Structure 1
Amino acid sequence: MWSKLFPKRFALLKAFVLLFLSISSLVRISFLIWGFSEVDTGIYSLLKTLVVGLLFDIATISFFTVPYLFYLVLFPVKWYGSFVDKTITAFGFFLGILITYFSFFGEFTFWDEFQRRYNFIAVDYLIYTYEVVQNINESYPLPILIGSLLILVAFTIFLISKSGVFQRTYHNRTAFKQKLVAALPWFAIVIVSVLFVTIDQAEWSKNRYTNELSKAGIYSFFAAFRNNELAYSEFYDTIPEKEAFDSIKTYLANNGETFLVPSEKEILRHIKSVDSVNVEIKPNIIFICIESLSGKYLNSLGADLNITPTLDSLANESLFFTNLFATGTRTVRGMEAITLSIPPTPGRSILKRKNNTGLFTIGEVFREKGYDRNFFYGGDGYFDNMNTYFGGNGFNIVDRGRGFLLDKSITTTRTNIEDKEVTYENAWGVCDADIYTKVIKEADKAHKIGKPFFDFVMTTSNHKPFTYPEGKIDIPSGSGRYGGIKYTDYTIGEFLKTARNKPWFKNTVFVIMSDHCASSAGRWELDVRNYHIPALIYNLPNSVPQKVDKLSSQIDMFPTLFAALGWDYDTNLFGQNILEMKPENERALIGNYRKLGYLKNDKVMVLGDGKTANFYQWNPMNNSLSPLPVDNDFLKTAISNYQVADYLYQNGGLKLKNLKK
């Protein structure tokens, strides 16, 4: 049987298959040991993890075999061992081994960062090669790694050659029929894999780590490539559209909001300022979006690390939101939540999708109030499609400027951060101190004109490789996340120190919030604690500093600010005024690119793309999820939020031109 599956002509193919399966199993076992404390370690679970993982490995390697199988089957017997045969075979084997080792070594760096197999993030990284390659080069000793990789490939080829595999491949008389019979099982596996195997089948456990171990990294990569944009109605539980809109409108109406077209499938409504604010005020607004800062790192949110003295001090001088959650796990998801004030739609963030310009964003509210809107980014805003999104929604761009706006029809002002303005730069952009210097410079210009401005400032220093100018803090540059956080906090302090000496400071409100947590990984479908982020509003006129403990979402931050400023305005935003939110309306929306969660009263409903709905009790003390019988009313509310958000995006309900008809 073995000789029929791998005749002599297939000797090298057999060696490659066995090598691939062995290394893949070794990687899986390594990750199992790495995350052993988080994995379901029951005997049945461990055995099933290894078996399911092996099946996905076989499915993965079957795709690798197809090009070589065509070559083996069709290549004439009389040319076996010829120069052409040896050249093609040797090159193909070298390339296959190189890709295999590169992929598996890459999985270790990806797991270290995200505790996951390759997913949509890895797909995105292929697009933005400059930033990613630079980041890898600054984070790891790249010449040593590449050299070691090539040595390992050469050593592998040497060992296989010494075992006589190449000789058996070249010196035989395996006939066409025998080769075809041997190739058919592999073709069958490919067909079955394409038609019947999905990445969902690896997610058989309630334990997220176990599911990740059951996957094959390369298979997961291509699955993410294929499924990075998911239509909610096609993949998730739905209810009748009218019922979904009625549910959302009832929730919004409970907060005293008036719908402009109540009969339509839209949520456009008018917001009336609260009675306690008599006069509408229009201060400058500087919003600082901090890269990857989890709430667990702040002393003011329960930590004992002493690495955020500035933010901890500001917490006592601001409206400090202690129970606010990010909607997602990536910067673009945070930007989506902040600017569109919308629940996360499945798949890619709207920032990276088609039809993402000309939308109703918080920028439109600022425009109606007479503000200039500016987006500051220390890197090239081409990354993650940020320039196209912000520029296409009315923001002026201030960035490092190596790339170009993707959409040539977008007309916006673009200001470059010049070389002379840069004191330190890494793969992701200039250090936070430099971006704040640019913000100060542009604010001075705006103040002279006398027009209020809204600045959206995206920081970069709290990101691997965590490098920054030496001598600013007591943690050496490049030594890890704690250093990145402390430097980020230090620069905010220095920025505010400079701003306080400016004539525009008294009339400027500072909003500070993280885009997402440092890591979303955990053993559960959605690790709730890893969505908890810091958020505060500082220097707000007519406001008494206070800690706001209401459960809330990223999408609520700017509707809360607008209310605090006493603004009347029309809105298409889902977000609510946290300060006036009734206890029964407190909730948070969290998710990743496939799982969508609705959190309320320490209960969370998790919607999956296999039309699944799992209901849990969340224990904040140990961050655990305990299964509950599904609550149909809770489920309906969760579905309504995500279904309506997706409907509005898919049907132009977020477009300004459609809302103004």
Structure 2
Amino acid sequence: KSLKAIGKNQAFYRASLSFRPNVVFAVMESMSGDIFNSHDSLVNNTLGALDTALEDAVVFRKAVSIENGTFPSLEGLLFDTPISPISQSIYGRKELSFSQIRAFKEAGYRTIFLTGCPEPWRQINDTFKFYGFEEIYGQAAIGEKFPNAEKSPWGIGDKWMFKFAEDLLKEAEGTGRPVFIMMLSTTNHPPFKVPDGEQVSKVDISKLPKTINLEGSYDGNMKMLLKTYQYAANSLGNFILDLRNKGWLKNTIVAATGDHNARMRYQSEGNWHHVFGVPVLFWLPDQNLKASVDTDRWVSHRDILPSLLAMSTGKILGNEKGRNLFAKDTEEGAVSFIGWSGSGFVIGKPGMVTLNGKNLECYNWRDDKLVKAESCSNEQETMGKEARAQRAISEYIVRKGLQE
């Protein structure tokens, strides 16, 4: 896309922004797409209050994570990087120009990272301040505000993290300065336990897709996993419903996704879209955007922050950084940096294309399976070459930024 066209789009977005909305981005621990799509309020309630909150959400059920672990996905989201770890390396305490959070700070946002885990986890209390976050809060800060909250090896219950976030939004209402909050939940993580004696609704592992090897998934303890999944989703749902009841969704954009889908085992061949599947969700003040978006397309973690930046600050990133899902000219193909020798893949309506090697390797859809193609279609060739270029540019931007 030409620089002239990008500049024109950016001017359009800035002209259309009459206010700076608050932005909340919740990254939910192990929020599997398969479990999300298996929700049944009567027999396998995996979503709790989130089911009701989805009524006015933009829901992308066909989505893949950028990486396949909590911290690699977190760095992938922050930096749009195929290289990880960065913050755990010699570059961890370096001002990184390619951090996507800087754009919010430059636009005047109060930038906050909030998590239920202990603040020293992966040294985020020290390193994340170099990436554009002004404030970092975790288990200690949440526990001080809510002393009755149960603490466990994985941190503090997601319910309390979201209550803390509500207090931050209330502060923002009083100051007039918009806030960007990025959250990382912790409850749906081994050792699985529903915190604070919370009661959960009925779950049934037999309602999960047959592609999942239930006996081999997390030592067969899938029922407890579904319960903590429900607790976490319910906490997110109650957060959204509280914002709706207070009228705050009129000036707040909320996005949510899973960090990965790594707790279950599959026959990977042909099921990569399940293995790496996560939901991607948005709640928007501008309902016109909701009405115009194609929710049947494949999307990626890489598309979330470009979408949030465009809608909140008017900043339009080049397509090499991911797509604005609410733009009219969004290209086909969701790019992930997972697998295939670290080169990743792109997935969309034409099928899937791996990005490693000189020759593209293509897979066609056969119902809900991806089947190796003898040759790539023209659509797959186009999608694969564009994705390969995006990945190369992303790596170049990161490597160049590390040397600055």
Q: TM exceeds 0.5?
A: yes
Question: Counterpart of 2:234?
Answer: 490
Match of 2:55 in 1: 316
For 1:514 and 1:274, the matched residues in 2 are separated by 31
**Greater relative contact order, per chain length (Cα 8 Å cut-off, separation 6+):** 2
Map 1:560-571 to 2 at 5 A. Answer: 560-565=307-312, 567-568=314-315
Identity percentage of aligned residues? 20
Change (3 A) 1:454 1:536: same
Cα 1:600–1:373 change in 2 (3 A) is: same
Using the TM superposition, give the Cα deviation of residue 284 of structure 1 relative to its aligned residue in structure 2, in angstroms: 1.2
Question: Which residues of 2 match residues 490-569 of structure 1 at below 5 A?
Answer: 490-500=234-244, 502=246, 504=248, 506-519=250-263, 521-524=265-268, 527-543=272-288, 545-546=290-291, 548-565=295-312, 567-568=314-315
Matching residue of 1:3: none
Which residue does the alignment assign to 2:156? 430
Secondary structure at 2:189 match in 1: coil
- Change in 2 beyond 3 A, CA 1:323/1:310: same
Q: How has the CA–CA distance of structure 1 residues 469 and 623 changed in structure 2, closer, same or farther, with 3 Å as cutoff?
A: farther
Counterpart position of 1:331: 70
Give the RMSD, CA atoms, in angstroms.
3.6
Q: Is the 8 A contact 1:318 1:544 kept in 2?
A: no
Question: 1:376 & 1:449 partners in 2: Cα distance?
Answer: 19
- Find the structure with the greater CA-based Rg: 1
1:216-231 alignment runs, 5 A limit: none
- Cα 1:271–1:278, aligned 2, differ >3 Å: closer, same or farther? closer
1:284 matches 2:22: yes
Match for residue 472 of structure 1?
199
- Quote the offset at 1:465 in angstroms: 2.1
C-alpha deviations, 1:295-315, integer Å up to 9, x for none?
A: 222348899833214333333
TM-superposed deviation, 1:565:
3.8
Q: Name the SS for the 1:256 alignment partner.
A: helix
Q: CA offset at residue 633 of structure 1?
A: 5.9
SS in 1 for 2:322: coil
Per the TM alignment, residue 484 of structure 1 is displaced from its structure 2 partner at its CA by: 1.1
Give the superposition deviation at 1:581: 5.4
Residue of structure 1 equivalent to 2:138: 399
Do the aligned residues in 2 keep the contact of 1:606 with 1:613 (CA within 8 Å)? no
Give the residue type in structure 2 aligned to 1:576.
R
Indicate whether 1:640 and 2:389 are aligned.
Answer: yes
**Structural mapping, 1:3-22, within 5 Å:** none
2:121 counterpart of 1:383: yes
Task: Report Cα offsets for 1:196-216 as digits up to 9, x if no partner.
Answer: xxxxxxxxxxxxxxxxxxxxx
Aligned partner of residue 339 in structure 1, secondary structure: helix
Determine whether 1:355 maps to 2:94.
no
Distance change >3 Å, CA 344–CA 318, structure 1 → 2:
same
Count of residues in correspondence between the two structures: 375
Cα distance, 1:567 vs structure 2: 1.2
**Residue 650 (structure 1) aligned with residue 399 (structure 2):** yes
Alignment of 1:210-249 (within 5 A): none
Indicate how the Cα distance of structure 1 residues 362 and 421 shifts in structure 2: closer, same or farther if over 3 A, else same.
farther
Structure 1: runs of 5 or more not aligned: 1-251, 259-269, 402-414
What is the TM-score when the length of structure 2 is the normalising length? 0.78
Q: 1:280 to 1:300 in 2, by over 3 A?
A: farther
Change (3 A) 1:372 1:572: farther
Q: Where in structure 2 are the equivalents of 1:133-144 lying within 5 Å?
A: none
Partner of 1:133: none
Q: What residue number does 1:92 align with?
A: none
Distance across 1 between alignment mates of 2:14 and 2:104:
22
Q: Hey, what does 1:458 align to over in structure 2? A: 184
TM-aligned CA deviation for residue 482 of structure 1? 0.9
Which amino acid is the alignment partner of residue 472 of structure 1?
Answer: Q
Q: Larger deviation: 312-321 or 626-635?
A: 626-635
Unaligned runs of 5+ in 2: 204-220
Question: Which secondary structure state, in structure 2, belongs to the residue aligned with residue 292 of structure 1?
Answer: coil
Q: Deviations over 1:259-308 (max 9, x none)?
A: xxxxxxxxxxx961547973342111121111111222234889983321
Q: Distance in 2 between matches of 1:478 and 1:255?
A: 52
Q: Which amino acid aligns with 2:372?
A: S
Change (3 A) 1:328 1:275: closer
Q: Verify: 1:585 aligned to 2:324, yes or no.
A: no
Alpha-carbon distance, 1:588 to partner: 2.6
Work out whether residues 324 and 552 of structure 1, in 8 Å CA contact, stay in contact via their aligned partners in 2.
yes
| 3-state SS in 2 of match to 1:513 | strand
- Matches of residues 35-54 of structure 1 in structure 2 within 5 Å? none
1:617 Cα offset (Å): 1.3
Distance 1:255 1:292 in 2: 40
- Identify if the C-alpha distance between structure 1 residues 454 and 523 changes in structure 2 by more than 3 Å, giving closer, same or farther: same
Q: Identify the residue that residue 48 of structure 1 maps to in structure 2.
A: none
Match of 1:473, as an amino acid?
Answer: V
Matched, 1:256 2:5: yes
| SS of corresponding position for 1:421 | coil
| Residues 26-41 of structure 1: pairs in structure 2 closer than 5 A | none
1:4-45, Cα deviation, whole Å (9 max, x unpaired): xxxxxxxxxxxxxxxxxxxxxxxxxxxxxxxxxxxxxxxxxx
- The structure with the largest helix share of the pair is 1
* Counterpart code for 1:563: A
Tell me if the contact between 1:292 and 1:462 (Cα under 8 Å) persists in the aligned partners. yes
Once residues 548 and 322 of structure 1 are traced to their aligned partners in structure 2, the CA distance between those partners, rounded to angstroms, is: 8
What is the 5 A alignment of 1:131-280? 252-253=1-2, 256-258=5-7, 272-274=10-12, 278-280=16-18
Q: Distance in 2 between matches of 1:561 and 1:484?
A: 28
TM-score by length of 1: 0.50
